[in-house]
Structure 1
Amino acid sequence: MFTTLYEDLLAGDAKLSLVGLGYVGMPIAVEFAKHVPVIGFDINEAKVEQYKQGHDSTNEVGDEALAHTTVDFTADPTRLEEARFHIVAVPTPVNQDKTPDLTPVIGASETLGKHLKPGSIVVYESTVYPGVTEDVCVPILERESGLRCGEDFKVGYSPERINPGDRVHTLTTIRKVVSGMDDESAELIRRVYDIVIAAGTFPVSTIKTAEAVKVVENSQRDINIAFMNELAMVFDRMGIDTSEVIEGMNTKWNALGFRPGLVGGHCIGVDPYYFTYEAEKLGYHSQIILSGRKVNDGMGGFVADAAIREMVQAGLAPAKSRVAVLGLTFKEDCPDVRNSKVDDILARLRQYGIAPQVCDPWADPADAKAAYGVDLVPMEELRDLDCLIVAVAHRQFRDMSSDDVKALFADKPDAEKVLVDVKSVLPKAEFAGYRYWRL
């Protein structure tokens, strides 16, 4: 029943479906569609309609590629009955109490289960803690479909590794970890992903191992960045320039290259909580991972406090100052505003009576308003500033000349102008007379 699925896909006699068409799912659908028939399903009808019209709101593949793709985009779940190889790529956020929110993956499993046909393979890419695929998703698929896992359908897991906004490390150039519930499913899943992954696949022995790979690789990055953030906070008290220290450190061959920064988004800012949640259920309380998360979750407030301190030392009254923040998305050159730590900066500024203007040429104004209640301001409307916070290193901000930046400030002595360069993208020497601070 499963043995010919790979050949059937290549021959066009079977279809592949993508359940969830966000920053991860949509690019996968477009890439697979170059080789096999693909149905792209999402419950968001507006998003599906945008894709049909050739508009890529994620900016991951571009409007032209989307306009010419053969992906059959739909919001009709019954269309999933046409496919036999299904990839689930829905988001997995955390709740307010930092526990995993499995609502999207549970909902996707319920929808897919209602339309699952015998002889199908289901591969989950959503980031989850070890055990979710087999212990949470499989029972839902069986209940909704009336089919038996292992006999009528099989499952696997392949953690998504797409890096939003990255034009170098793309879907096809990142080696893909793959797994299946048994040898047959693992081999089939490997062969199917090898169709599109030029870098090749890396099979692991169990689904739980593959699930662990994802949460651990992001937890590792989170911890390393937390270390740099802690150093930045200490060096700030010592009056030492953290960037200069890092530049010196990086001259050694075994330096890791991490820098301090705001750690948000839907992966690094979330995945550690999935890992520690399952660990605590098993009786182990994290000694390192949660400490790193605590440090990183506090960086937005730390940056805002630094800006306020610099304003006071410049002789400004913060609540009466004109303050602008450049950037709202969770990372540079990416329109994704989910779990952006810039919001923590804005929240702290507001606590001091400051009403900051926010400019972000990448963020969708509707998304910014819905997520954070922010009305984005065009760059040309920023003027007469007392304090400028460069929070996200979008290329538009990196490309600004020193004169462009200086033109945003009010006409007054440089010593009364505050410039906070979170990502250290501006030439420090050019602003020697300013109250200049960088993380």
Structure 2
Amino acid sequence: MNLFKKIVNKEEKISLVGLGYVGMPIAVAFSKKVDVIGFDLNKEKIELYKNGIDPTNEVGDEAIKNCTVEFTANEARLKEAKFHIVAVPTPVRDDHMPDLSPVEGASEIVGRNLTKGSIVVYESTVYPGVTEDICVPILEKESGLKCGIDFKIGYSPERINPGDKIHRLETITKIVSGMDEESLEEIAKIYELVVEAGVYKAESIKVAEAAKVIENSQRDINIAFMNELSIIFNKMGIDTQSVLKAAGTKWNFLNFYPGLVGGHCIGVDPYYLTYKAEQEGYHSQIILSGRRINDDMGKYVAENTVKKLIQANKNIKGANVGILGFTFKENCPDTRNTRIIDIVNELNEYEIYPTIVDPIADADEAKKLYGIEFKNLNLLKDLDALIIATSHDKFKEIQKNDFEKMFKNEKVLIDVKGILNRKEYETAGYLYWRL
């Protein structure tokens, strides 16, 4: 096949289909070595990239401005590439069923523009079997080509951690897989161009798909355990973080912490695995139990906010509550599948309509997805309660004197991630609560 040499010699190009938090950093990384076409259906996003703006904050404006990626919303440009990487979201529907429409749509686009001798590699998180059983038939139908004869496929799960400046594409071992030895070797060599940590060759595409989906399921289960401990210790009047610090002195204790589990990975991927398990006749017990606990934590935070308001003799209906942070994780603008919306919705049930501040979040996305409009920090005044929902670095810079100015009398402070010194604030008269 020898596609690797042609790409290195710039006789052939790589394409990235889907330029979000995963696809865009991959495109930028490859463009330092080879010719890259970056395709996305979102024309507004493409224009931002062309103008040197990084709306994801993953690589920064400077890297976008200086990269050589050919950004386009014209799918016909994909015909110029022979190595296609598909990195589109794989969300779940409201009933927690996998929504494969983005990856199916991407397969149709790639298929319409597929040429003989190409390799298509999927990075989207899926359950075992999706690449071969669902994507390949679409590629064949749209292209009129035969998989294994006219083109090859592979799977290399994304491991990019949004907002993380340490664990990047280049520094994380990359799992790669191919439909046969030839495609596996080509795929491995191409990824080795940009992944300094090296690649791991999985035995099959299904093994690679399974490896990815259990990585996030494992984290989800461990966080669910911590959340359950938080509920138990809260009833006992014991500070969970103090317990975890003590337990963490043992060499083999796993350092997980309670929190809201959202985003498009940890809060979603377990449902892909349990869906496939159901198809095979097995009903998940541990995985779905963990999911139920984590899905209820936003409601739990809201309920404890109300309890603290009652303790402070505040009127619940119409209470003035501020929320700092709305993204699914710290220092990341992504609001998709944020579980902070669960806090907001539960407070609304008590006729509490919080003022939300998040200078990091994608405001347009939040407005479109949730109808949420963010306010400036200086509008948080005369509060009955403040919920620090996300531990953005900007919020960690807020001093106690600044918090003092936000309240009118009794100060209820809900520090979800525990970024403040509990004793300091309790000594200062705050009614303080954290997971």
* The two structures share one fold, judged by TM-score above 0.5: yes
TM-score calculated relative to the size of structure 2: 0.99
Counterpart in 2 of 1:306?
Answer: 304
Instruction: Find the residue that maps to 2:272 and give its secondary structure.
Output: helix
How far 1:52 moved relative to its partner? 0.3
Q: Secondary structure at the match of 1:320?
A: coil
Does structure 1 residue 388 correspond to structure 2 residue 393? Answer: no
Alignment of 1:170-181 (within 5 A): 170-181=168-179
- 1:168 maps to a residue whose letter is I
In structure 2, what is the equivalent of residue 132 of structure 1? 130
Paired position in structure 2 for 1:427 = 421
- The whole-number CA distance in structure 1 between the counterparts of 2:364 and 2:82 is 36
> Which of 246, 262, 265 matches 1:264?
262
Answering whether residue 337 of structure 2 is matched by residue 339 of structure 1, we say yes
What's the % identity of the aligned pairs? 59
Matched residue, 2:190: 192
Aligned to 1:120: 118
The 1-side partners of 2:376 and 2:200 are apart by: 45
Q: Which amino acid aligns with 1:344?
A: D
How far the C-alpha of 1:149 sits from its partner, in A, is 0.3
Shift of 1:409: 1.2
Within the alignment, does 1:438 sit opposite 2:402 as a pair?
no
User: Where does 1:40-439 land on structure 2 (aligned, <5 Å)?
Assistant: 40-410=38-408, 412=409, 416-432=410-426, 433-439=429-435
CA distance in 1, matches of 2:194, 2:330: 27
Shift of 1:57: 0.3
* Shift >3 Å, 4+ stretches: none
Is 1:9 aligned with 2:7?
A: yes
Q: Secondary structure at the match of 1:388?
A: strand
RMSD of aligned alpha carbons:
0.6
Q: CA deviation at 1:54?
A: 0.6
C-alpha distance in 2 between matches for 1:407 and 1:225? 34
Amino acid corresponding to residue 421 of structure 1 in structure 2? D
Aligned residues: 433
For residues 383-428 of structure 1, what are the alpha-carbon distances to aligned partners after superposition, in whole Å with 9 as ceiling and x for unaligned?
1111000000000111211222222111x2xxx2100000000111
Deviation of 1:167 after TM superposition, in Å, equals 0.4
Equivalents in 1 of 2:48, 2:75: separation in Å?
18
Q: Is the 8 A contact 1:87 1:125 kept in 2?
A: yes
Deviation digits for residues 205-264 of structure 1, max 9, x if unmatched? 100000001110100000000000000011111111111111111111111100000000
Provide the rounded CA distance (Å) in 2 between the counterparts of 1:400 and 1:171. 32
Partner Cα separation in structure 2 for residue 21 and residue 160 of structure 1: 13
- Structure 1's unaligned 5+ residue stretches are none
2:264 and 2:363 map into 1 onto residues whose CA distance is: 19
How far apart, in 1, do the equivalents of 2:117 and 2:266 lie? 35
**Contact 1:359 1:378 (C-alpha < 8 Å) held by counterparts:** yes
Q: Shift in Å at residue 430 of structure 1?
A: 2.1
Whole-angstrom CA distance in 2 between matches of 1:325 and 1:423: 13
Does the CA-based 8 Å contact 2:318-2:353 persist in structure 1?
A: no
How far off is 1:287 after superposition?
1.1
Return the alpha-carbon distance in structure 1 between the equivalents of residues 21 and 57 of structure 2.
8
The 1-side partners of 2:403 and 2:177 are apart by 50
CA–CA separation in structure 2 for the residues paired with 1:364 and 1:380:
19
Q: C-alpha separation between the residues in 1 aligned to 2:269 and 2:57?
A: 23
Query: Per-residue displacement from partner, 1:281-328 (whole Å, max 9, x unpaired)?
Result: 000110100000000000000000000000001100122321000000
Structure 1 contact 158–178 (Cα < 8 Å) conserved: yes
Secondary structure at the counterpart of residue 196 of structure 1: coil
8 Å CA contact 1:20, 1:42 repeated in 2:
yes
Deviations 1:61-115 (A, max 9, x none): 0000000110000000000000000000000000111010000000000011000
The aligned residue for residue 34 of structure 1 is 32
User: Is contact 2:330-2:391 (8 Å) kept?
Assistant: yes
Task: Name the CA distance, whole Å, in 2 between partners of 1:393 and 1:407.
Answer: 20
Contact 1:402 1:430 in 2 (8 A): no
TM (norm. structure 1) is 0.98
